[in-house]
Amino acid sequence: KAYDKTAIRVFTDDTRADAWLCAEACVSGYVLVTYETSSNSIKTIKIPNVCDAFGIACINGFDFMRKEGFRF
């Protein structure tokens, strides 16, 4: 998928955590937990889209809590 140049610049901005989180999860084999959902827009890059593209395991925060047995 070809993203808009502005979307790439925003996602990879050093002051934002998203790209750093994806990179760390990729190289360390971590599962990335996020409440973001995938987007079909070329103007916005979402964490689940990056995870899909790079084969990074990614789950929703609620699924994480269920898996870990959180009780409220």
Model pLDDT, residue 72: 87
Of 67, 52, 56, the residue nearest 21 (C-alpha) = 56
Encode pLDDT of 21-67 as tens digits. 999 999 999 999 999 999 999 999 999 999 999 999 999 999 999 99
C-alpha 14/C-alpha 64 separation (Å) is 27
What is the pTM for the complete model shown? 0.88
- Helix boundaries (H) for 1-72: 5-11, 18-28, 47-54, 61-67
Phi and psi dihedrals of 41, rounded to 5?
-75, 140
Encode pLDDT of 10-21 as tens digits. 999 999 999 999
Q: Both tokens of residue 25?
A: 């999860």
Model pLDDT, residue 69: 97
